[in-house]
Amino acid sequence: MKSYIPTINISSLIDGKFVSKEAKKTIQSIKKACVEVGFFQVIGHGLKNEEIKNICAVGNKFFNMKDKYKRKLSPKKWNKQNKNIYRGYFPNDVNGKEGLDLGDLNVSSKYSNNIKNQYIEYLNLQKCFNSKAVKKLNNYFDNIFSLSEILFKSIIVYYKKDPKISNQAFSRLKTLSTLRFNNYPNQKKPVEISKQDGVALGCETHVDSGIFTVLYQDKKGGLQVQNLKSKKWYDVPFNKKAFVVNTGRALEYLTKGKFKATNHRVLWNRSKRMSIPFFFEPSFDFKMHPSYLLSKKTVNKGQIYEKFLNRSLKKFVEYQR
């Protein structure tokens, strides 16, 4: 049976040139998936299965630590000794799941102090991770960021603009992109009962804030996406070689609603489950304006992405810090 969620081989885009016939065909497939579904899976993405397996092991080892050790990386709300507010570990009594939010790992303590932005925070990962694990986290952030950028550049090319303008929206040290590890414990009760169909949920119905979310989910599955027209829910199948990609509110804004942010949710599951989403977010000072993609001339105006994100995150309990 053909899945509602299309699978796209993006190997023709990895060289970043976007000029071959196969690349152009792939870009059309991505556009079609974004417009019609808002979700798709990518294979041929260049990340080795071993790297994905290793990063899952790093996440599982962290979540298996005792609470007092995990809280060494918590924001000030859950660890009064820490100064970080946005990045770090949040416990599972917040919204039925525990998580670890990591910003760009190239951010140093000195850079964070100098730039004085609420979202650009330095985390001393060595409080909880050994040097090998930190290196794996660094490499994974680098590679998943590059993959996300390729997907975004393919959208820029679809709009017949120079993919190099991606640099206007994304600067590595200024990006608000987040690598998150979600751990769903043995939940005793759902966090929400869907008002639409009465289904028990382990994660509430929501849309994401950024350009793309690039997710690796484990074989437990449970992720569902809503059909934009019929409002029916579909399972996102597990594929150990694939990343799940969905569109966010920032991309919807930049395309004047053509690429809509799509509702998704996670079914309540009594067994443990982990997922690793990467929220691909622009630089905090990027000026959000549809002219970025939709007009021949780029207008140097629009709302700052940081403010756009502030409003978007208010609906998430775990970000009320």
- Domains of the chain by residue range: 7-319
pLDDT of residue 114: 94
Q: Tell me the range of 50-64, 198-212, 255-269 where mean pLDDT is highest.
A: 50-64
pLDDT of residue 318: 58
- Give φ, ψ of 208 to 5 degrees: -90, 165
Q: How far apart are CA 157 and CA 68, in angstroms?
A: 48
> Shortest CA distance to 255 belongs to which of 227, 228, 288?
288
Q: In a 3-state reduction of DSSP, which class is residue 58?
A: helix
In angstroms, the Cα distances linking 46 to 30, 52, 258 are 17, 11, 28
CATH code 2.60.120.330 for 7-319? yes
pLDDT of residue 1: 47
The angle subtended at Cα 108 by Cα 62 and Cα 212, nearest 5°, is: 65
State yes or no: pLDDT of 83 exceeds 60.
yes
Q: In a 3-state reduction of DSSP, which class is residue 141?
A: helix
State yes or no: pLDDT of 22 exceeds 70.
yes
The residues pairing with 175 across neighbouring beta strands, listed in sequence order, are 283
Average pLDDT, whole number, for the chain?
89
- Give φ, ψ of 294 to 5 degrees: -100, -5
Give the per-residue SS3 of 170-210.
CCCCCECCEEEEEEECCCCCCCEECCCCCCEEEEEEECCCC
User: Which residue type occupies 312?
Assistant: S
